[in-house]
Amino acid sequence: MRNRFYIFALVVFVLGISAYAADAPFPGAKSDWNGYDEYDFDCGGRAAKVVVPKEAAPGKPWIWRALFWEHEPQTDVALLGKGFHVVYLETSDMYSSPTAMKEWDAFYDYLTKEKGLSKKVALEGLSRAGLICFNWTAVHPERVSCIYADAPVCDIRSWPAGKLTSPGNPSAWQDLLKAYGYTEEEAFAKFKNPTDVLEPIAKAKIPLLHVVGDADTDVPVSENTAILEERYKKLGGDITVIHKPGVAHHPHSLVDPAPIVDFILKHTDKGK
C-alpha cells in the first residue's frame, strides 16, 4: 500500500512539473535578471536568452541586444518596465557573417511565429554589434522598427583592421577573416560595412540613434558614425547622434537612459 502511495505521489509530482513547464512562456532554465524572469535555452545550436516583462505591452514589442549581454543594461531594464521583451542570441565574433545572418533569421522566426512577438523589433548594437544590426536590417528592413547603435563599428578598416587612425584589434581582425573565409584583400573588397548598406534602410524610413564618446580612439567617431551620419542624411534618412564629450569607447550607454528609451518607445508601433 505504501509503495502504491509513493508511485501515486511521484506521478502527481511529474505531472505538476510538466504542467508548470507547459505554462512557461519560454523553454529552458528560468532565473532572475534584474527582477524579471530570464529564460536560457538553445536555438539552433546557439545559446539564447529571453527576459520577460511583468506584463507585455500591446503587440508584444521587443528589443534585440545583438552582443555583450548585461553590459550597461539600463536601457533594457527600463524597457522591460515598459512591457518590452529583451532577447539575445550568442553570435559573438561572427561579425555579421552569412552563418550569423541565418541564425538571426531563425531566431527571429521563432520569436515572431511561435511566440507571437511583434513582427518589428528594435535593435541594440554596441560596438562591433553595429555590423550585424545594419547588415541584417538592410536585408530585412520590414522587420526593424529602429536601431539604437552605441559607439558602433561602421567601417572594418577602422576597427578591427586598424588601417585608419584606430589601433584596431589584430585578434578580432583574424576572427572576422575566419568567420567569412576571406583574405585581408578580399575583406576590404567584399565586406559590407554599415556605411555601405544604408540605402534600403533609409528607403524604409528606419530611424537611427547613435550614442558616441567624442574621445573614442578605438572606434573613432570621425571614421565611423560621422561618415554614416552624413551618408544617411544624404539619403533622406532620420538619424540622431548623442555625443558624450570627453568619453572614450567605454562606458557605453547613458547613465540616465531616458533619451534612448524615449527614442525606442517613439518608434515602436505597439499594434503590430
Write down the pLDDT at residue 103: 96
Return the beta strands (E) in the chain as ranges: 29-33, 36-43, 46-52, 62-65, 85-89, 121-126, 144-150, 208-213, 239-244
Q: What confidence score (pLDDT) does residue 24 get?
A: 82
Determine which helix (DSSP H) or strand (DSSP E) holds 104, and give its type and residue range.
Answer: helix 98-109
Question: Rounded mean pLDDT of 87-113?
Answer: 95
Residue 17: what pLDDT?
32
What's the confidence (pLDDT) of residue 130? 96
- When pLDDT is averaged across residues 55-63 and rounded to a whole number, the result is 97
* pLDDT for the residue 15: 32
- The predicted model gives 114-136 an average pLDDT of 97
For residue 270, what pLDDT is reported? Answer: 58
47 C-beta neighbours (distance < 10 Å), count? 15
> Please, is 201 exposed, middle or buried when counting C-beta atoms within 10 Å of its C-beta (0-12, 13-18, 19+)?
buried
Residues recorded for the chain: 272
* Mutual angle of helices 98-109 and 170-180, in 10-degree steps: 70
* Per-residue confidence (pLDDT) for residue 6, from 0 to 100: 35
Which range among 7-16, 152-161, 198-207 shows the weakest confidence by mean pLDDT? Answer: 7-16
* Assigned C-alpha cell, 136: 541584417
8 has a pLDDT exceeding 90: no
pLDDT of residue 14: 32
d(CA 44, CA 29): 17
In the structure grid, which three cell numbers stand for residue 49, read together?
536568452
Q: How far is CA 12 from CA 5, 15, 16, 82, in A?
A: 11, 5, 6, 38
Region of poorest pLDDT, from 12-21, 23-32, 175-184: 12-21
Model pLDDT, residue 56: 96
